[in-house]
Chain A
């Protein structure tokens, strides 16, 4: 009986609208993080003459930052 109540509470905490709002941002967040870091990497290559390592580093950092940002958004609630 208690288990049944717990399950119901867990379900009532779920808001489809809020989840849709968070999900709609996930892809764009990834894209923005990768875009920002790739741009920063390209500018670094241009300034320091380190081509293509700035771009490579920027792409990797952007991908990881994007995934981290999406995970944080999902875990917030």
Chain B
């Protein structure tokens, strides 16, 4: 049995290997997020209904969670975290579309998840520098005392890898299992797994965003 999931259409650009399918599905996910957000925010009514209602419920629930994790200054990073959630959530669901291997989740490629995790790590340091200054930023590597600098540096390197691997592993494993189930029992079983994968996609987007918001607490408070 030949598995399509996890294989990519590779091309060479400026001496680097680029996964074309990942780039196209990333653009597709971004376009979907932009269109849904535009549809939800155009012609806003005082009493929301339809897509506006759904989006307001989602944004409110997430913002409450961010406020719990970060504190009252959560608005500084709310746009970053909401964009992250919507993009990851949409990306995770793309691979479940019945398109005969035409679309796959961009998050089943480690390049995407590592990119998101590194960008999040850089954002954590950016907000730390912006809010507390260079002295405090250097100082936080030496807390609680200077002997911990090596351990803190190891943690800084491990953090984006952990974030990326969790998302990548969960989504890739889900899609591989879906393909195997389609081959073994093409009727009812994949439907159940798709329903479960919808849930897993949402949970993984939530976990990624929540962990980034917890890491951001120190930078923003």
Classify chain B's interface size: 20 to 34
Contact yes or no, A32 B207, CB < 8 A:
no
Contact yes or no, A61 B150, CB < 8 A:
yes
Chain B residues near A37 (CB-CB < 8 A): 154
Q: Is the interface of A mostly helix, strand, loop or mixed?
A: helix
Q: Is A72 an interface residue when CB atoms closer than 8 A count as contact?
A: yes
- Checking B158, B207, B218 against A69 with a beta-carbon cut-off of 8 angstroms, the contacting residue is B158
Chain A: minimal CB distance from B219 (Å): 12
Interface-forming stretch among A3-11, A16-24, A46-54?
Answer: A16-24
Contact yes or no, B214 A28, CB < 8 A:
no
- Checking A25, A64, A77 against B217 with a beta-carbon cut-off of 8 angstroms, the contacting residue is A77
Cα(A72)–Cα(B159), bound, Å: 12
Contact yes or no, A68 B206, CB < 8 A:
no
Considering only CB atoms and an 8 Å cut-off, how many residues of chain A contact the other chain?
Answer: 26
Chain B: minimal CB distance from A42 (Å): 15
Chain A residues near B69 (CB-CB < 8 A): 18, 77
Q: Is B40 an interface residue when CB atoms closer than 8 A count as contact?
A: no
Chain A residues near B162 (CB-CB < 8 A): 25, 28-29, 32
Q: State which residues 25-75 of A face B: CB under 8 Å.
A: 25, 28-29, 32-33, 36-37, 61-62, 64-66, 68-69, 72-73
B residues neighboring A (CB under 8 Å): 65, 68-69, 148, 150-151, 154-155, 157-159, 161-163, 165-166, 206-207, 210-211, 214-215, 217-218
Q: Report 12 cross-chain contacts, Cβ distance below 8 Å, ordered by A residue.
A: A13-B68, A24-B207, A33-B154, A37-B154, A62-B154, A66-B158, A68-B151, A73-B214, A76-B214, A76-B215, A77-B68, A77-B217
A residues neighboring B (CB under 8 Å): 13, 15, 17-18, 20-22, 24-25, 28-29, 32-33, 36-37, 61-62, 64-66, 68-69, 72-73, 76-77
